[in-house]
Amino acid sequence: MSKKDKKDKKKKDTAAPPKKDAGAPKDKGGKPGGSGGKSGIAWMLWFLFFLVIFLPVYFFKMNTFNLPFTDASEAREAETVGEMVNFHDPLTPYPNEDRIPTKPPVFHWLAAIVSALLNGVSEFSIRFAALLYAAGIALSTFFLAKSMLNGRAAFLSAIVLVSSIVFWNYSSAARVDMALTFFCTTAFLFFYLGFESDKGGYFILSFVCVAFAILAKGPVGLAIPALPIIIFIIAKRAWKTVWREDTILGLIAMVVIVCGYYMIAGNKYGFGEYNNLLMNESIKRVTEPGGLYNDSFMEPWYWFMPKFFGFFMPWSVILPLALIFCFGKGMFSEKGGNLYALLWFLIVFIGFSLIDYKRKAYLIPAIPAASILTGSFLDSVMEDCEGRRAALLSVFSVVYMILGILLFVCAIAFLAPDVYDITIGKLASGRTVKILEQFSSKNSHRNLAEVLAISSVLCITGSVLMLKKKFLAGVISIVMMFVVCTSAASFWIVPILYGSPDNPRTFVRNNIEPNVKEDDFVGFYGNGYDYAVIFYAKRRIPMLGTPEVSYKLDEYRNVYLILAEEDITDLEMNYPRTFELAGDKYRCTKKNLVLMKRKTGI
């Protein structure tokens, strides 16, 4: 061997060994294979493709958009939107000229814009505004998870979000909670982008989003993003990172937007009365529980736990695992994405659990954070299919197996009358009975059985795939089960449950429109006040006490009163032989309403 050959051999022997995973794709955090070998743009395209697949499901859901308002909360917001559009007062509406809106107008502004584009206020236009906010929440969740984690985790987080029951339900509800959640989510997104980069402007956008969150539902719009962000800054010891010029500018912008609106509203409604309303709707719900709403929504501290399990289905089975394992790898890393989402979820969940006044809608701002935690967990499982997380998820997939078997039993029950009588017929009660009574025919039972059977197969398939460590395919199977169930529910069950002809819209069409002329007087009496009736009547209907009725009898020839059925006796005692029924009674927002008219010749 020549000297040159010996020299070349020595160089080869002393050369550094190749780095492990040198050719593996890396995500933004530098983690090999962290996004499943795809770029963030590729996962974004997959998510958009998934939404396109989901569109037919939402078209089924739009079957419910035209259902009449039967819930007082929806009807109240609809009345405010109708006031904005019909009476041309978008900034400071004064619904029915007898009350101040209980919520600021951000949700109503979008609903009014949609109504204007669709040439009129309707159930569809108002609920479609909630769907637009829901789409914004989904996109914000995707980009936030992508910036904190990677493309695949962002894809999974967004899929978990849009296929959760609570998100599905409230994406078509005329409630301000979707507007609040959208602006809180975008505030979290822009803050994190500003935290991760030195580019100016992100913090300003974050503060602007907080301002609109406040204008969506009051002071809670400040508390939800502010508390997790402040604790995150303390945990990361990043005061110098966030204390810069655009932070100050953003704070100024937030104060100007919020104070500017409240100055305009206070000038219109009266500062004392408006401040009292704000105190009642926010602070007093915490400091004086039970006094404001007569204990009607007083619940124990643990009330949200079972509610959230049902709300976040089908992913609430996996969420406890995500919460346990998010304390491990990556929580206190330089990016701190898991810590950020965990603080967001826990502060919202625990904070609302500690107050006595509780409503299910309060959980909605925590859903994007829960989706990110679940998506992060699923991403880590797919990254290490042989790790502890994958093994534990495989064990928990047995829950999906049991669910699939139960769905199959229900499918058999709907096909076999004898089995139906001793299972579903015995166990069902209340609202379930109302649904099942509409499916008494053989064909309807067969249709439901087919839906349940398909859902059962998809659920069991997803469970088996997870047991075989085919986690992405298993997740897709679970999502498809959700698609089948929710499509069937939107097409059949929801219209039956809420589409009864016994509703405020029918009350107005059959009682008020044929009887009450433009020059006649119509008012509410007793417990008859109903927001939905005002919305459908498209006229202002004042609330009257006993003395006011006498004044209207002297002032108008034709006087009509809308009242609850139980108030008829009281009216006849105060005004004997003065009023008579002017139509049929209808069930409107949890009470039976009747229309009474002044008798001819009196």
What are the pLDDT digits (tens) for 440-462?
A: 444 555 666 777 777 788 788 88
Contact assessment for residue 282 and residue 213, using Cβ atoms and an 8 Å cutoff? no
At 291 the pLDDT is: 47
Contact assessment for residue 532 and residue 70, using Cβ atoms and an 8 Å cutoff? yes
Of all helices (H) and strands (E), which one includes residue 490?
A: none
At 499 the pLDDT is: 57
| Bridge partners for 563 per DSSP | 525, 594
Structure tokens at 381: 């499982």
Distance of CA 103 to the CA centre of its chain: 16
Average pLDDT of the segment spanning 223-241: 87
Residue 471 DSSP code: H
What are the pLDDT digits (tens) for 47-83?
A: 665 665 555 555 556 666 777 887 778 888 888 888 8
Contact assessment for residue 64 and residue 494, using Cβ atoms and an 8 Å cutoff? yes
- Kindly tell me the sign of the dihedral angle through the C-alpha atoms of 452, 453, 457, 458: negative
Q: Report the mean per-residue pLDDT for the chain.
A: 77
Average pLDDT of the segment spanning 406-419: 63
At 2 the pLDDT is: 53
Averaging pLDDT over each range in 223-227, 261-265, 293-297, 391-395, which range is the top one? 223-227
Peptide bond into 501 cis (omega under 30): no
Report the residue count for the chain: 602
At 26 the pLDDT is: 43
What are the pLDDT digits (tens) for 158-212?
A: 888 988 888 888 888 888 899 999 999 999 999 999 888 877 788 999 999 999 9
**Gap between the Cα atoms of 297 and 193, Å rounded:** 38
**Rounded to 5°, angle at Cα 517 from 512 and 519:** 130
* Percentage, residues of the chain above pLDDT 70: 73
Contact assessment for residue 513 and residue 538, using Cβ atoms and an 8 Å cutoff? no
Structure tokens at 575: 């005004």
Structure tokens at 81: 């939107």
**Gap between the Cα atoms of 482 and 315, Å rounded:** 11
Distance of CA 154 to the CA centre of its chain: 20
Average pLDDT of the segment spanning 30-53: 55
